[in-house]
Homo-oligomer: A and B are copies of this chain.
Amino acid sequence: MTPKRRADVERNERALLDAAARVFATSGVNATVREVAAAAGVGMGTLYRHFPTRADLMVAVYRHQIDACAEAGPALLAAAESPFAALLDWVHLFVDFLATKHGVATVWKGDAAGYTALHQLFLDRLVPVLAELLDAATKSGEVVADIRPYELIRAVGDLVAWTVQDPGYDVRRIVTLLVTGLRQPQPTRVQSSADER
Protein backbone atom coordinates (compact mmCIF):
# COMPACT_ATOMS: atom_id res chain seq x y z
CA MET A 1 0.00 0.00 0.00
CA THR A 2 1.73 3.23 -1.13
CA PRO A 3 1.80 5.90 1.53
CA LYS A 4 -0.41 8.85 0.88
CA ARG A 5 1.39 11.51 -1.10
CA ARG A 6 1.24 15.16 -0.24
CA ALA A 7 -1.01 17.42 -2.23
CA ASP A 8 1.86 19.49 -3.58
CA VAL A 9 3.62 16.37 -4.90
CA GLU A 10 0.54 15.30 -6.83
CA ARG A 11 0.00 18.81 -8.08
CA ASN A 12 3.58 19.25 -9.26
CA GLU A 13 3.74 15.87 -10.96
CA ARG A 14 0.52 16.62 -12.83
CA ALA A 15 1.92 20.01 -13.82
CA LEU A 16 5.13 18.43 -15.08
CA LEU A 17 3.38 15.81 -17.18
CA ASP A 18 1.03 18.35 -18.71
CA ALA A 19 3.87 20.78 -19.41
CA ALA A 20 6.08 18.07 -20.89
CA ALA A 21 3.34 16.91 -23.24
CA ARG A 22 2.84 20.51 -24.41
CA VAL A 23 6.52 21.33 -24.74
CA PHE A 24 7.33 18.05 -26.54
CA ALA A 25 4.46 18.70 -28.94
CA THR A 26 5.67 22.17 -29.86
CA SER A 27 9.45 21.97 -29.47
CA GLY A 28 10.01 18.25 -29.94
CA VAL A 29 11.24 15.66 -27.47
CA ASN A 30 14.68 17.18 -27.55
CA ALA A 31 13.38 20.25 -25.78
CA THR A 32 15.46 20.99 -22.71
CA VAL A 33 14.35 19.88 -19.29
CA ARG A 34 14.72 23.51 -18.29
CA GLU A 35 11.99 24.40 -20.73
CA VAL A 36 9.75 21.71 -19.29
CA ALA A 37 10.40 22.74 -15.69
CA ALA A 38 9.75 26.39 -16.51
CA ALA A 39 6.53 25.52 -18.36
CA ALA A 40 5.41 23.54 -15.32
CA GLY A 41 6.31 26.36 -12.94
CA VAL A 42 8.58 24.12 -10.85
CA GLY A 43 12.32 24.01 -10.14
CA MET A 44 14.91 21.73 -11.64
CA GLY A 45 15.20 19.76 -8.42
CA THR A 46 11.50 19.05 -8.46
CA LEU A 47 11.58 17.84 -12.02
CA TYR A 48 14.43 15.43 -11.30
CA ARG A 49 12.87 14.20 -8.09
CA HIS A 50 9.74 13.17 -9.95
CA PHE A 51 11.51 11.92 -13.08
CA PRO A 52 15.14 10.95 -12.35
CA THR A 53 16.14 11.11 -16.04
CA ARG A 54 14.74 12.53 -19.25
CA ALA A 55 13.78 9.01 -20.24
CA ASP A 56 11.54 8.62 -17.21
CA LEU A 57 9.73 11.79 -18.19
CA MET A 58 9.24 10.62 -21.75
CA VAL A 59 8.00 7.21 -20.71
CA ALA A 60 5.46 8.83 -18.40
CA VAL A 61 4.25 11.22 -21.10
CA TYR A 62 3.87 8.64 -23.86
CA ARG A 63 2.86 5.49 -22.00
CA HIS A 64 -0.87 5.81 -22.51
CA GLN A 65 -0.49 6.63 -26.18
CA ILE A 66 1.66 3.59 -26.81
CA ASP A 67 -0.98 1.52 -25.03
CA ALA A 68 -3.65 2.89 -27.37
CA CYS A 69 -1.57 1.89 -30.38
CA ALA A 70 -1.19 -1.60 -28.94
CA GLU A 71 -4.93 -2.00 -28.35
CA ALA A 72 -5.74 -1.04 -31.93
CA GLY A 73 -4.14 -4.24 -33.24
CA PRO A 74 -6.78 -6.77 -32.16
CA ALA A 75 -9.54 -4.37 -33.15
CA LEU A 76 -8.17 -4.06 -36.67
CA LEU A 77 -7.77 -7.82 -36.97
CA ALA A 78 -11.42 -8.31 -36.02
CA ALA A 79 -12.69 -5.70 -38.46
CA ALA A 80 -10.46 -5.89 -41.54
CA GLU A 81 -11.33 -7.74 -44.71
CA SER A 82 -8.20 -9.88 -44.38
CA PRO A 83 -5.38 -10.46 -41.93
CA PHE A 84 -2.94 -8.85 -44.34
CA ALA A 85 -5.11 -5.75 -44.60
CA ALA A 86 -5.20 -5.58 -40.81
CA LEU A 87 -1.41 -5.93 -40.71
CA LEU A 88 -0.89 -3.13 -43.22
CA ASP A 89 -3.41 -0.91 -41.47
CA TRP A 90 -1.81 -1.44 -38.10
CA VAL A 91 1.68 -0.79 -39.37
CA HIS A 92 0.46 2.48 -40.84
CA LEU A 93 -1.22 3.32 -37.57
CA PHE A 94 2.15 2.76 -35.90
CA VAL A 95 3.79 5.00 -38.50
CA ASP A 96 1.20 7.71 -37.87
CA PHE A 97 1.76 7.45 -34.14
CA LEU A 98 5.53 7.87 -34.50
CA ALA A 99 5.37 10.52 -37.19
CA THR A 100 2.86 12.80 -35.50
CA LYS A 101 4.77 13.01 -32.26
CA HIS A 102 7.16 15.76 -33.05
CA GLY A 103 10.54 14.12 -32.81
CA VAL A 104 9.49 11.13 -30.74
CA ALA A 105 10.61 8.89 -33.54
CA THR A 106 14.16 10.04 -32.96
CA VAL A 107 14.04 8.32 -29.60
CA TRP A 108 12.55 5.16 -31.05
CA LYS A 109 15.98 3.62 -31.05
CA GLY A 110 17.55 3.82 -27.64
CA ASP A 111 21.15 4.41 -28.64
CA ALA A 112 21.14 8.01 -27.55
CA ALA A 113 21.69 8.43 -23.84
CA GLY A 114 18.51 8.26 -21.86
CA TYR A 115 16.22 6.94 -24.52
CA THR A 116 16.55 3.25 -23.80
CA ALA A 117 13.58 3.07 -21.46
CA LEU A 118 11.19 4.48 -24.04
CA HIS A 119 12.52 2.15 -26.69
CA GLN A 120 12.03 -0.79 -24.36
CA LEU A 121 8.48 0.30 -23.65
CA PHE A 122 7.78 0.39 -27.39
CA LEU A 123 9.07 -3.15 -27.82
CA ASP A 124 7.40 -4.61 -24.74
CA ARG A 125 4.01 -3.31 -25.72
CA LEU A 126 4.05 -3.43 -29.53
CA VAL A 127 5.99 -6.54 -30.56
CA PRO A 128 3.35 -8.96 -29.18
CA VAL A 129 0.65 -7.06 -31.12
CA LEU A 130 2.60 -7.26 -34.33
CA ALA A 131 3.28 -10.94 -33.65
CA GLU A 132 -0.45 -11.61 -33.53
CA LEU A 133 -1.05 -9.75 -36.79
CA LEU A 134 1.87 -11.42 -38.59
CA ASP A 135 0.77 -14.82 -37.36
CA ALA A 136 -2.73 -14.35 -38.72
CA ALA A 137 -1.47 -13.08 -42.09
CA THR A 138 0.94 -16.02 -42.32
CA LYS A 139 -1.76 -18.55 -41.51
CA SER A 140 -4.00 -17.03 -44.19
CA GLY A 141 -1.16 -17.50 -46.70
CA GLU A 142 -0.88 -13.78 -47.39
CA VAL A 143 2.59 -13.48 -45.86
CA VAL A 144 5.16 -15.98 -47.09
CA ALA A 145 8.45 -14.25 -46.29
CA ASP A 146 10.15 -15.32 -43.12
CA ILE A 147 10.34 -12.35 -40.81
CA ARG A 148 10.07 -12.03 -37.07
CA PRO A 149 7.85 -9.40 -35.47
CA TYR A 150 10.86 -7.73 -33.86
CA GLU A 151 12.57 -7.38 -37.23
CA LEU A 152 9.54 -5.83 -38.86
CA ILE A 153 8.76 -3.35 -36.14
CA ARG A 154 12.41 -2.44 -35.91
CA ALA A 155 12.61 -1.79 -39.66
CA VAL A 156 9.41 0.25 -39.76
CA GLY A 157 10.42 2.25 -36.72
CA ASP A 158 13.85 2.89 -38.22
CA LEU A 159 12.31 4.06 -41.48
CA VAL A 160 10.07 6.51 -39.67
CA ALA A 161 12.62 7.59 -37.12
CA TRP A 162 14.09 10.29 -39.28
CA THR A 163 10.87 11.54 -40.79
CA VAL A 164 10.76 15.25 -41.17
CA GLN A 165 8.40 17.34 -43.22
CA ASP A 166 10.09 16.41 -46.46
CA PRO A 167 7.83 16.83 -49.49
CA GLY A 168 10.26 14.75 -51.51
CA TYR A 169 9.88 11.66 -49.38
CA ASP A 170 6.73 9.82 -48.33
CA VAL A 171 7.80 7.22 -45.82
CA ARG A 172 4.37 5.58 -45.96
CA ARG A 173 5.02 4.51 -49.54
CA ILE A 174 8.27 2.91 -48.46
CA VAL A 175 6.61 1.18 -45.54
CA THR A 176 3.93 -0.19 -47.85
CA LEU A 177 6.64 -1.42 -50.20
CA LEU A 178 8.35 -3.21 -47.34
CA VAL A 179 5.20 -4.81 -45.95
CA THR A 180 3.87 -5.91 -49.32
CA GLY A 181 7.28 -7.35 -50.02
CA LEU A 182 6.40 -9.89 -47.36
CA ARG A 183 3.95 -11.49 -49.79
CA GLN A 184 6.69 -12.96 -51.93
CA PRO A 185 9.43 -15.36 -50.89
CA GLN A 186 12.78 -13.76 -50.36
CA PRO A 187 15.72 -14.59 -52.62
CA THR A 188 18.97 -15.77 -51.22
CA ARG A 189 21.52 -13.08 -51.75
CA VAL A 190 22.94 -13.27 -55.30
CA GLN A 191 26.35 -14.81 -54.70
CA SER A 192 27.12 -16.23 -58.13
CA SER A 193 27.62 -12.84 -59.72
CA ALA A 194 30.15 -11.97 -57.05
CA ASP A 195 32.00 -15.23 -57.69
CA GLU A 196 32.24 -14.56 -61.41
CA ARG A 197 33.89 -11.17 -60.98
Contact = CB atoms under 8 A, between A and B. Distances in A.
Contact of A85 (B89, B147, B181, B193): B193
A1 interface: no
Nearest to A178: B178
A4 interface: no
A187 B193 contact: no
A124 interface: no
A80 interface: yes
Given A109-B162, A192-B81, A182 B186 contact: no
Interface of A: 79-82, 85-86, 88-89, 92, 106, 109, 111, 145, 147, 150-151, 154-155, 158-159, 161-162, 164, 168-174, 176-178, 180-184, 186-187, 189-190, 192-194, 196-197
Given A89-B194, A176-B189, A180-B186, 6 more contacts: A81-B190, A89-B190, A151-B169, A158-B158, A161-B162, A178-B181
